[in-house]
Amino acid sequence: MTTASASERSGWEPVIGLEVHCELRTATKMFCGCRNAFGDEPNTNVCPVCLGLPGSLPVLNRRAVEYAMRIGLALHCQVQPSIFHRKNYFYPDMPKDYQVSQYDEPINVQGFLQLPDGSTVRIERAHMEEDTGKTTHVGGGGRIHEAGHSLVDYNRAGVPLVEIVSAPDLRSSAQARLYAAELRAILVASGASDGRMEEGSMRVDANVSVRPARSDTLGTRCEIKNLNSLRSLGRAIDFEIDRQIALLQAGERVVQQTRHWDEGEGRTVALRSKEEAFDYRYFPEPDLVPVAPDEAWQRQVAEALGPMPAERRQQLARRFGQQGPDSARADQIATVVELDLDPLVHAAADAGVDVSLALARTANEAAADAEAARRVDRDAYRALLQLEQRGSLSATQAKTVLGELLASGGDPAEIARRLGFEALGEDSLAGVVGEVIAANPAEWERYCGGEDKLAGFFTGKVMKATGGKANGKLVAAELQRRRAGS
């Protein structure tokens, strides 16, 4: 990550506001019946409406409005009557030459989002609009000015979007990343969007300015486009903060601009000077009526909304009693909630599995293949953890069985048998422990003399002798039993 030295940055405060576009998970587009799908053959999901042919008329997708409300409610916004405007500009990926968007009367206003670090970011608005098509510049480095020609795919034109605009409340790249990650988790939890940055279904623009520390007026901002991962978001903001500080320290000024993040070069470059609202000649869309969800509909949407990530983290944390989870476990909780795997942990813990064990296996092993883990049979998952907890499987064995379970499903006990993970019976375990003690008499004497840390030495030897099949807890118990009796 680019960082100015502390001395260069001190005396300046970065100010960041994010604009996040997310595609809604509707089956069809916003104003027509074309399929809303990522990755289809180009220009196969198109019709006169989304191609903007003369005489075609839009019909608003009710489900898109419902999803927009879900997002607004999840972000504690006020849901209000709204209207659509035409935002006029010419670009080849937008066949109508205008984008239908909400301008001064958006559906959701004045919400907030609470970050895991305890800070609150205000949400100014979360409005509906339609997506554009997608242009691919062919030849050169893929940028428009280097390209030999350009291809355009209108499958994405008219896909419903919600744009979530934060207040300029963020103060560092790390906080901006935290916000984007939390927002993504909320979008996924609401069911309104899949939040996939790599597929472009969540796209982030970052507005960045700097000002003298302790100033309370905002500096001139630049808006950075093309941030398609949390990593790019963080790097681009850091680069931009440094660039602006360097300008101001040299006595120059920041010009308000739209800038492009060049991932390869690791820098932002000027795209165009910032457009003003009047450039777009906004006017109310004459072919659509206002959207005014009534109380009953809003209530229905609110009631169907499950708990959001912050609450789900708390629900898991509560299982750790009064003192709560330590910081490592708090991180694990954040991971499983973000991946929508917390139901697995609850199911196992409800069945009597130690919550720390369930959390660890879920955050460390199951999380590595979250997609499979979300589909795994909960009873099988719980049964596997019980085998480990009871000592029928060692930790290493349990992880191997879990890998199998995620890859191909099945009954954990049967998978364990197939893999030859017969639990080492207590008799044979005792025998191996006896042999290991006999082979290491000096260490045994020291252990009996009170050098507890040698337990690890003996456990290691037993594990080696059994090829990892021994259960660590049972070995420890056997060692203690023998020491007490010696």
Binding residues vs ligand ADP (CB under 6 A): 15-19, 165-168, 207-209, 218-219, 221
- Cβ 7 to ligand ADP, closest distance in Å? 23
* Contacting residue, 15, 32, 202, 334, with Zn ion by CB under 5 A: 32
Contact 466, 394 (CB under 8 A): no
List the structure tokens of 245. 């500080």
* Contacting residue, 20, 34, 233, 432, with Zn ion by CB under 5 A: 34
The DSSP annotation for 43-84 comes to T-S--TTTTT-TT------HHHHHHHHHHHHHTTPEE--B--
Strands, E, within 282-419: which ranges? 283-284
Q: Is 100 in the site for Zn ion (CB under 5 A)?
A: no
- Cβ 124 to ligand ADP, closest distance in Å? 6
Q: Regarding beta strands 257-262 and 267-273, do their DSSP bridges make them parallel or antiparallel, or are they unpaired?
A: antiparallel
**Stretch binding Zn ion (CB under 5 A), from 50-58, 101-109, 334-342, 416-424:** 50-58
Nearest to ligand ADP of 16, 402 (CB atom): 16
Q: Which does 166 bind (CB under 5 to 8 A by kind): Zn ion, ligand ADP, none?
A: ligand ADP
Q: Is 50 in the site for Zn ion (CB under 5 A)?
A: yes
Terminal Cα-to-Cα distance of the chain (whole angstroms): 58
* Contacting residue, 4, 35, 43, 47, with Zn ion by CB under 5 A: 47
Instruction: Name the helix (H) or strand (E) containing 465.
Output: helix 454-466
Nearest to Zn ion of 130, 238 (CB atom): 130
Q: Regarding beta strands 222-227 and 257-262, do their DSSP bridges make them parallel or antiparallel, or are they unpaired?
A: parallel
DSSP-assigned letter for residue 375:
H
Nearest to ligand ADP of 36, 166 (CB atom): 166
Q: Which does 116 bind (CB under 5 to 8 A by kind): Zn ion, ligand ADP, none?
A: none
Q: Which does 436 bind (CB under 5 to 8 A by kind): Zn ion, ligand ADP, none?
A: none
Q: Which does 19 bind (CB under 5 to 8 A by kind): Zn ion, ligand ADP, none?
A: ligand ADP
β partners of residue 101: 85, 129
State the number of binding residues for Zn ion (CB under 5 A): 5
Give CA–CA dist 131/93, Å, rounded: 10
**Stretch binding Zn ion (CB under 5 A), from 26-34, 170-178, 342-350, 427-435:** 26-34
Question: Which residues, 6+ apart, have CB-to-CB distance to 90 below 8 Å?
Answer: 97
Q: What are phi and psi of 86, to 5 degrees?
A: -100, 125
- Cβ 34 to Zn ion, closest distance in Å? 3
Give CA–CA dist 383/310, Å, rounded: 28
The binding site for Zn ion (CB under 5 A) comprises 32, 34, 47, 49-50
